[in-house]
């Protein structure tokens, strides 16, 4: 990754389209993100600002966000000071990862006020600070830093705003800046704005063309910068300039916001879900571990119970040899008339020969009953393991809105206590994800069991096409067409494979059939179905294709 000073410069250029725009709404989806809805140049824009320690960034976004029912205090403060305000300027501070949004708004009595939103994207030190521009005073911030934490720079309401300490490096845009002969490490140490990745790229270009520095720097000042993304050896890299020093091919994006949406959407969403569902994931892991241990014990019991035939034989052999057995004997050696082999049978010396025989017959009947019960328990435990593993897969791929439905399902099934809520919730329909194939055909996807049942048995028509990964936990996918073309089937199958336990696999088998061939057995758990007359295609999950088809 490389959201460095140079990338910040390029992003500042891209965000100039918001200047003169009006902030119509302020949202705070979670404790690390802000979302500003802005009307500029006749269009509606969503500006995402994140201070995540690993994914701090600012860019326009097209992704949907779930906002809390009650806005946090910082969000309420921003609504008071900047909602309805006009953005008069967006600029970078020096070559730092710091962007300032200058906003002209009005206070409660209608007087004009000047506010600044300082977006500091500095890893774990990232912050969003609202500043009174006239007094250079902090009104509030997303993160507070008392003097005990930072004596140089206190970030608290009422304190003077002080910029982060300067690194005293040269600006790369200085006319006298000379990069020739410098290694990437020397570029990073001498010039502001360079990350190791960007410095390596400049060093690589200079080695091939000594005059390429200016063209390289121009990419970051372009009014409409392009984004470039490379994935190499399991690592992701991005920049506002081509990364020619990397071996893998660059994927080009029309703008930086589209690039960052692509890179961070899944990562940030997964991180948000972990914050909300960490306890649920741990609970499922513990339940699966307990069930697997139970299954191991049951199978051991089954192995012991399956020795019941020997108990029956012992009873028979005692009855056949009553004339040789006397009360008080501890064992007897007899011939097994089935195979002519000698068998030693333990006896209870306190019991008569007939009582010893009856004891073995009684143990045989108990073992016979135990086998049936154990087999039933093994079957149920196997089903529970598959059910919880399916829920685990759904949690790991869920969005924030899906997690609550999974909790509700577990409560309804009696596995967890329902979470208490002050407000009575009205029953709502599950919210399924919608996609459109390249041929314009609608596709619906369930991402948890409630959504799966809803998609298959409520949304879909009997003649629609239903898809699911073969023998692999995953989503129910429905193509809303009676006779979809081959390309649409493959695209829907790719979506099904992506939202399954086989997301990271290649050549995933996906079954498809008509919805009328999908049945839910009586008493089956949510999301469980059986189906008939299916065909199978093999696809490889493709995140780019899934995001492209998302409605």
What pLDDT was estimated at residue 151? Answer: 79
Q: How high is the pLDDT of residue 122? A: 92
Instruction: Enumerate residues 6+ apart whose C-beta is below 8 A from 159.
Output: 137, 138
Q: What is the pLDDT, as a whole number, of residue 547?
A: 85
Q: Which residue has the tokens 């982060």?
A: 164
- Sequence-ordered strand ranges (E) for 61-122: 86-92, 98-106, 112-120
Tell me what the mean pLDDT of segment 183-190 comes to. 94
The whole-angstrom separation of Cα 282 and Cα 292 is: 15
* pLDDT, tens digit (0-9, with 9 covering 90-100), for 49-88: 999 988 899 999 988 777 888 999 999 999 999 999 999 9
Distance from C-alpha of 507 to C-alpha of 325, rounded to nearest angstrom: 68
pLDDT confidence bin for 397, thresholds 50/70/90 = confident
Quote the pLDDT of residue 434. Answer: 93
440's CB contacts (< 8 A; 6+ apart) are none
Highest mean pLDDT among 150-159, 329-338, 509-518, 541-550 belongs to 509-518
Confidence tier at 428 by pLDDT (50, 70, 90): confident
Taking residues 442-447, report their average pLDDT: 94
Check residue 25 and give its pLDDT: 96
Around Cβ 340, how many Cβ atoms within 10 Å? 7
Return d(Cα 307, Cα 313) in angstroms, integer: 11
pLDDT band at 373 (very low <50, low <70, confident <90, very high): confident
Which range is least confidently modeled, 161-165, 424-428, 468-472? 424-428
Q: DSSP label at 95? A: T
What's the rounded Cα separation, in Å, for the pair 382 and 493?
A: 27
How far CA 351 is from CA of 277, 311, 356, 357, 358, in Å, comes to 61, 17, 6, 10, 10
Helix ranges (DSSP H) in 255-351: 256-305, 308-320
With H, G, I as helix, E, B as strand and everything else as coil, classify residue 479.
strand
How remote is the C-alpha of 61 from its chain's centroid? Answer: 18
Mind listing the pLDDT tens digit for each residue in 32-48?
999 999 999 999 999 99
Instruction: Report, in angstroms and rounded to the nearest whole number, the Rg of the chain calculated over CA atoms.
Output: 34
Categorize the per-residue pLDDT at 385 as very low, low, confident or very high, splitting at 50, 70 and 90.
Answer: very high
What is residue 267's predicted lDDT score, i.e. its pLDDT? 73
Q: Quick one: pLDDT band at residue 426, thresholds 50, 70, 90?
A: low
Determine the pLDDT at residue 211: 84
Please report the pLDDT score of residue 492 as a whole number. Answer: 96
Per-residue pLDDT of 246-255, as tens digits, reads: 999 999 999 9
User: Distance between CA 550 and CA 266 in Å, rounded?
Assistant: 13
State the pLDDT confidence band at 310, using cuts at 50, 70 and 90: confident
Q: Which residue has the higher pLDDT, 443 or 524?
A: 443
Cβ neighbours of residue 168 closer than 8 Å, sequence gap 6 or more: none
Provide the CB-side half-sphere exposure for 275 (13 A, CA): 11
Write out pLDDT tens, residues 81-128.
999 999 999 999 999 999 999 999 998 888 999 999 999 999 899 999
Query: Given this model, what pLDDT does residue 427 score?
Result: 58
Binned at pLDDT 50, 70 and 90, residue 149 comes out as: confident
CA distance 190 to 424: 61
In this prediction, residue 424 has a pLDDT band, given cuts at 50, 70 and 90, of low
Higher pLDDT, 456 or 277: 456
143-152: long-range contacts (C-beta < 8 A, 24 or more apart)?
143/51
pTM of the model: 0.69
pLDDT in the model for residue 423: 53
Mean pLDDT (the chain) is: 90
pLDDT in tens, 201-245: 999 999 988 888 999 999 999 989 999 999 888 788 999 999 999
Residue 449: which H helix or E strand, with range? Answer: helix 449-454
Mean pLDDT is lowest, of 16-20, 96-100, 151-155, 453-457, for 151-155
Lowest-confidence segment of 2-11, 264-273, 371-380, 401-410 by average pLDDT: 264-273
Residue 182 has pLDDT above 80, yes or no: yes
Among 7-21, 197-211, 398-412, 465-479, where is mean pLDDT lowest?
A: 398-412
**Between 308 and 420, where is the model more confident?**
308
Residue 458 to residues 288, 427, 483, 530, Cα–Cα distance (Å): 31, 16, 20, 17
Q: What is the pLDDT of residue 49?
A: 96
Mean pLDDT of 489-516: 95
The dihedrals phi and psi of 84, each to the nearest 5 degrees, come to: 90, -5
Hey, what are 45's tokens?
């824009």
């Amino acid at each position: 990754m490389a959201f460095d000073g140079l990338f910040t410069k390029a992003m500042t250029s891209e965000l100039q389209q918001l200047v003169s725009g009006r902030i119509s709404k302020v949202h705070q989806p979670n404790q690390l993100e802000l979302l500003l809805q802005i009307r500029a140049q006749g269009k509606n824009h969503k500006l995402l600002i994140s201070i995540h320690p690993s994914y701090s960034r600012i860019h326009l976004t097209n992704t949907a966000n779930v906002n809390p029912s009650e806005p946090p205090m910082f969000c309420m403060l921003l609504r008071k000071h900047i909602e309805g305000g006009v953005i008069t300027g967006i600029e970078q501070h020096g070559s730092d990862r710091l962007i300032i949004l200058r906003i002209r708004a009005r206070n409660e009595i209608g007087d004009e006020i000047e506010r600044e939103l300082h977006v500091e994207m500095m890893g774990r030190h990232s912050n969003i600070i609202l500043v009174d521009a006239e007094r250079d005073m902090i009104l509030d911030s997303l993160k507070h830093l008392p003097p005990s934490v930072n004596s140089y720079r206190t970030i608290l309401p009422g304190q003077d705003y002080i910029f982060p300490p300067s690194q005293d490096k040269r600006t790369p845009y200085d006319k006298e800046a000379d990069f020739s002969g410098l290694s990437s490490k020397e570029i990073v140490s001498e010039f502001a704005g360079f990350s190791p990745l960007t410095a390596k790229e400049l060093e690589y270009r200079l080695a091939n063309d000594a005059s390429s520095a200016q063209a390289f720097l121009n990419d970051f000042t372009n009014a409409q910068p392009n984004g470039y993304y490379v994935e190499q050896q399991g690592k992701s890299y991005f920049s506002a300039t081509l990364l020619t020093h990397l071996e893998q091919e660059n994927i080009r994006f029309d703008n930086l916001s589209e690039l960052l949406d692509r890179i961070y959407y899944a990562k940030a969403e997964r991180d948000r879900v972990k914050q909300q569902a960490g306890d649920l994931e741990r609970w499922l892991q513990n339940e699966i571990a307990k069930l697997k241990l139970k299954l191991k014990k049951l199978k051991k019991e089954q192995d012991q119970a399956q020795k019941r035939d020997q108990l029956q034989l012992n009873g028979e052999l005692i009855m056949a040899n009553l004339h040789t057995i006397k009360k008080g004997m501890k064992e007897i050696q007899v011939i097994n008339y089935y195979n002519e082999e000698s068998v030693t049978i333990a006896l209870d010396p306190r019991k008569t020969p007939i009582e010893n025989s009856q004891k073995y017959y009684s143990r045989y009947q108990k073992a016979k009953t135990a086998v049936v019960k154990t087999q039933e328990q093994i079957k149920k435990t196997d089903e529970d393991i598959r059910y919880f593993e399916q829920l685990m897969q759904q949690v790991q791929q869920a969005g924030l809105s899906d997690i609550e439905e999974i909790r509700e399902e577990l409560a309804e099934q009696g596995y967890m206590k329902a979470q208490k809520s002050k407000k009575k919730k009205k029953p709502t329909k599950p919210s399924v994800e919608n996609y459109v194939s390249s041929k314009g055909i609608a596709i619906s996807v369930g991402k948890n069991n409630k959504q799966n049942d809803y998609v298959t048995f409520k949304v879909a028509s009997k003649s629609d096409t239903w898809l699911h990964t073969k023998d692999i936990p995953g989503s129910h996918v429905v193509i809303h067409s009676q006779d979809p073309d081959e390309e649409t089937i493959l695209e829907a199958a790719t979506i099904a494979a992506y939202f399954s336990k086989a997301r990271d696999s290649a050549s995933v088998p996906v079954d498809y059939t008509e919805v009328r061939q999908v049945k839910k057995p009586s008493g089956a758990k949510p999301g469980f179905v059986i189906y008939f007359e299916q065909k199978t295609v093999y696809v490889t999950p493709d995140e780019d294709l899934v995001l492209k088809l998302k409605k």
